[in-house]
């Protein structure tokens, strides 16, 4: 869901109260209706049932406020008032306990939590839609995008039995999953550590091999430049073509003698 | 009296049909040509989208069950929309082909009454499958099982006709009506949201939609 699709889920919005200080950022992204007043939160300023409290809540102090900061505004909401909190943590790693604490303490029911498309930078990954209630509001399915009805029929006993039953069973099923996830995460960390060690070992081995190769190349170059090698090469060449050897071997030897001491010429024999 | 296929005979009939017929005709309407079946599938897909909703999210997707998925057309198309889809079918031939085609869904060879999973679904749908279950007891087991797989607030979508009564067509089709579906699913905690016809040619079939409320 897009951020601009969120506010229309709330009907009869007369005032939007922003607790975070985002400048115009949040107001523009929400595309608040022109008929609704948009103002910053001021402690003690009266809010009515048409009010929606909005805020970026998350881990980055330059972009978000923390849950403690939004709590007073939630507590001032009258019954029927609503809250729209844009959370800055990735959904897969959402520490929701802080926000949930504040909402429950303020008498707010979480109506829906919606992951956001194209998470606005890292500023908002999901949105919590909540309402101050004095009885349970109707339950909403996941990703449902019809307008929210807060004062509709409360869930009956059968629905609550189903809800608590699903909660209890999913709580049970979450446990082995959580354990598997933790074990998998540990294995991944261990493997990443081992990969880094292997990379270091490999880099050392490659450096040693390159050094040996360099030394071997130097040795070959010295050998090939030595008088012994060049005289030997001239003689071998002569032995391969005996017909030409009468000329080529002496000429070769003279050439070696002339180039003695010149760069690239035959090296002086080591004693 | 028309001779009805037994459950085992029906399974064999459908497996053979999936082996014999083209992709859309085997699970669609055997009297339609491929082009007409394409229209028929698109029509029903569009109606399913209305019921599943126009929202999806790759991080936290919707979970869907395509019960009696045949060769997997609806499973694949809904997976393309970002949903996580499980497709089940009793036909080995159909499931083998589904797995070869891939496309995202996870497929399992299972009858509708036998499918077991620790995870509930946001939407369970069964397109023109239940009226091919000729044994009433198996039909009821299947319907109850599919309903039990729907989470609170989730939907059960069933393709069948919208008349009040039941009616047998030939040896391999028995349409059940509102008087059969509504009491059974009400007892399962499902609210009847409505029945909408396909409005395709002269088809009397449409989608029942139920929401789990308890």
Q: Encode pLDDT of A124-174 as tens digits.
A: 999 999 999 999 999 999 999 999 999 899 999 999 999 999 999 999 999
d(CA B197, nearest CA chain A) in Å: 23
- Chain A residue with Cα closest to B190: A159
Contacting residues of A for B153, CB less than 8 Å apart: 139-142, 144
A86 neighbors A124 (Cβ within 8 angstroms): yes
Which residues in chain A have their CB less than 8 angstroms from residue B57's CB? 1, 115, 117, 143
Q: Judging by DSSP bridges, how do beta strands B106-109 and B84-89 pair with one another?
A: parallel
Is residue A268's pLDDT more than 60?
no
**B118 touches A: beta carbon within 8 Å:** yes
pLDDT confidence bin for A237, thresholds 50/70/90: confident
In CATH, B7-48+60-212 is 3.30.1490.20: no
Token couple for B176:
């059940």
pLDDT at A226 (0 to 100): 86
Q: Flag if A142 and B118 touch (Cβ within 8 Å).
A: no
Of A141, A143, A158, which is closest to B189 when you measure between CB atoms? A158
Mean predicted confidence (pLDDT) in B120-131:
97
Chain A interface includes B99 (CB < 8 A) = no
What rounded mean pLDDT belongs to chain A?
A: 91
Separation of alpha carbons B40 and B199, rounded Å: 10
| E strands, A93-214, in order | 108-120, 124-132
Q: What's the distance, CA A71 to chain centroid?
A: 29
Kindly state whether B124 is in contact with chain A, defined as any CB-CB distance less than 8 angstroms: no
Using a CB-CB cut-off of 8 Å, the residues of chain B touching A173 are: 118-119
pLDDT of the residue at B26: 76
pTM of the entire predicted model: 0.81
Q: In the CATH scheme, what architecture does the domain A3-152 have?
A: 3-Layer(aba) Sandwich (3.40)
Q: Chains A, B: CB contacts under 8 A, how many? A: 55
Contact B120 A139 (CB under 8 A): no
Beta-carbon-side half-sphere exposure of residue A5 (alpha carbons within 13 Å): 15
Interface touch A141/B55, C-beta < 8 Å: no
How would DSSP label each residue in B93-142?
HHHHHHHHH-SS-EEEE--TTT---SS-EEEEEE-S-GGG---HHHHHHH
Among B53, B54, B60, the strongest candidate for a mutation testing the A interface, having the largest count of A CBs within 10 A, is B60
B53 touches A at CB < 8 Å: yes
**Strands B63-67, B84-89: pairing kind:** parallel
In this structure, are residues B204 and B175 in contact, taking their beta carbons and an 8 Å threshold? yes
Residues of chain A neighbouring B63 (CB-CB closer than 8 A): none
Within 13 Å and on the Cβ side, how many CA atoms surround A98? 16
A1 CB neighbours in chain B (<8 A) are 55, 57
Q: CB distance B152–A166 less than 8 Å?
A: yes
Contact yes or no for A116/A2 (Cβ under 8 A): yes
B123 chain-A contacts, CB cut-off 8 A: none
B207: which strand partners? Answer: B159, B196
List the structure tokens of A12: 């009869």
The tokens describing B62, both together, are 């919707």
Q: Which residue has the higher pLDDT, A159 or B7?
A: A159
Mean pLDDT of chain B: 93
Q: Quick one: CA torsion of A184, A190, A192, A193, rounded to 10 degrees?
A: 170
Domain range list for chain A: 3-152, 226-258
So what's the pLDDT on residue A244? Answer: 82
Strand order from edge to edge, sheet including A37-40 = A37-40, A15-18, A51-57, A82-87, A124-132, A108-120
Interatomic CA distance for residues A40 and A23, integer angstroms: 10
Q: Rounded distance, CA B75 to CA B108, Å?
A: 12
Tokens at B94, concatenated: 């159909």
> What ipTM goes with this model?
0.81
What gap in Å lies between CA B194 and CA B209, rounded to an integer? 6
Percentage, residues of chain A above pLDDT 70: 95
Greater model confidence, A201 or B9: A201
Report the phi/psi class of residue A163: left, alpha or beta, with left for phi > 0 and alpha for psi in -120 to 50. Answer: alpha
A269 has pLDDT over 60: no
Q: What is the pLDDT of residues B21-47, one digit of tens each?
A: 777 777 777 788 889 999 999 999 999
Length of chain B: 214
pLDDT top residue among B1 and A197: A197
Nearest Cα neighbor of B128 from B41, B38, B18 is: B41
The confidence score (pLDDT) of residue A271 equals: 47
**Average of per-residue pLDDT across A73-85:** 97
A1 with B57: Cβ contact below 8 A = yes
Is the minimum CB–CB distance between B49 and chain A shorter than 8 Å?
Answer: no
Average pLDDT over residues B48-72: 96
The pLDDT confidence band at residue A250, using thresholds 50, 70 and 90, is confident
Q: B78 near B67, Cβ under 8 Å?
A: no
User: In terms of pLDDT, which residue wins out, A89 or A256?
Assistant: A89
For residue range A14-33, what is the model confidence (pLDDT) as tens digits? 999 999 988 888 999 999 88
Indicate the residue of A92, A125, A162 with minimum beta-carbon distance to B189. A162
Q: Residues of A at the B interface (Cβ-Cβ below 8 Å)?
A: 1, 90-92, 115, 117, 125, 139-145, 155-156, 158-159, 161-163, 166, 173
Neighbour tally for B104: CB within 10 Å: 15
B10 confidence band (pLDDT: 50, 70, 90): confident
Cα torsion A71, A74, A75, A79 to 10°: value is -160
């Amino acid at each position: 869901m897009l951020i601009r699709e969120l506010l229309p889920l709330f009907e009869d919005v007369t005032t939007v109260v922003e607790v975070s200080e985002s400048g115009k950022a949040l107001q523009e992204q929400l595309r608040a209706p022109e008929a609704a007043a948009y103002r910053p939160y001021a402690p003690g300023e009266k809010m009515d049932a048409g009010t929606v409290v909005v805020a970026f809540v998350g881990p980055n102090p330059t972009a978000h406020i923390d849950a403690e900061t939004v709590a007073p505004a939630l507590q001032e909401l009258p019954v029927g008032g609503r809250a729209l909190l844009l959370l800055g943590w990735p959904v897969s790693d959402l520490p929701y306990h802080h926000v949930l604490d504040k909402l429950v303490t303020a008498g707010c029911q979480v109506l829906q939590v919606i992951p956001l498309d194209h998470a606005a930078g890292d500023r908002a990954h999901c949105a919590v839609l909540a309402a101050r209630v004095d009885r349970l509001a109707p339950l909403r399915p996941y990703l449902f995008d019809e307008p929210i009805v807060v004062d509709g029929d409360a869930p009956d006993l059968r629905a609550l039995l189903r809800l608590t039953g699903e909660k209890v069973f999913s709580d049970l099923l979450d446990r082995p999953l959580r354990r598997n996830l933790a074990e998998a995460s540990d294995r991944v960390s261990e493997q990443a550590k081992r990969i880094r060690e292997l990379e270091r070992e490999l880099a050392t081995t490659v450096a040693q091999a390159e050094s040996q190769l360099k030394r071997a190349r130097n040795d070959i170059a010295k050998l090939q430049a030595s008088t012994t090698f060049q005289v030997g090469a001239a003689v071998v060449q002569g032995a391969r073509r005996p017909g030409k050897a009468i000329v080529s071997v002496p000429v070769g030897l003279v050439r070696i003698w002339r180039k003695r001491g010149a760069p690239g010429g035959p090296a002086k024999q080591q004693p | 009296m028309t001779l009805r296929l037994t459950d085992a005979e029906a399974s064999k009939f459908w497996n053979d049909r999936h082996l014999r017929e083209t992709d859309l005709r085997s699970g669609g309407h055997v009297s339609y040509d491929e082009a007409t079946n394409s229209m028929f599938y698109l029509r029903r897909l569009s109606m399913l989208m209305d019921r599943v909703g126009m929202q999806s999210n790759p991080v936290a997707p919707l979970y869907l069950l395509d019960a009696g998925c045949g060769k997997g057309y609806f499973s694949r198309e809904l997976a393309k929309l970002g949903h996580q889809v499980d497709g089940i079918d009793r036909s080995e031939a159909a499931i083998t082909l589904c797995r070869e085609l891939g496309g995202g869904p996870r497929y399992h060879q299972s009858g509708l009454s036998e499918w077991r999973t620790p995870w509930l679904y946001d939407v369970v749908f069964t397109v023109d499958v239940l009226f091919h279950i000729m044994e009433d007891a198996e039909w009821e087991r299947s319907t109850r099982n599919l309903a039990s797989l729907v989470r609170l607030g989730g939907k059960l979508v069933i393709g069948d006709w919208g008349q009040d009564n039941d009616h047998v067509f030939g040896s391999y089709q028995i349409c059940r009506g509102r008087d059969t579906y509504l009491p059974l699913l009400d007892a399962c905690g499902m609210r009847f949201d409505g029945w909408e016809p396909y409005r395709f040619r002269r088809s009397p079939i449409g989608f029942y939609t139920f929401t789990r409320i308890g």
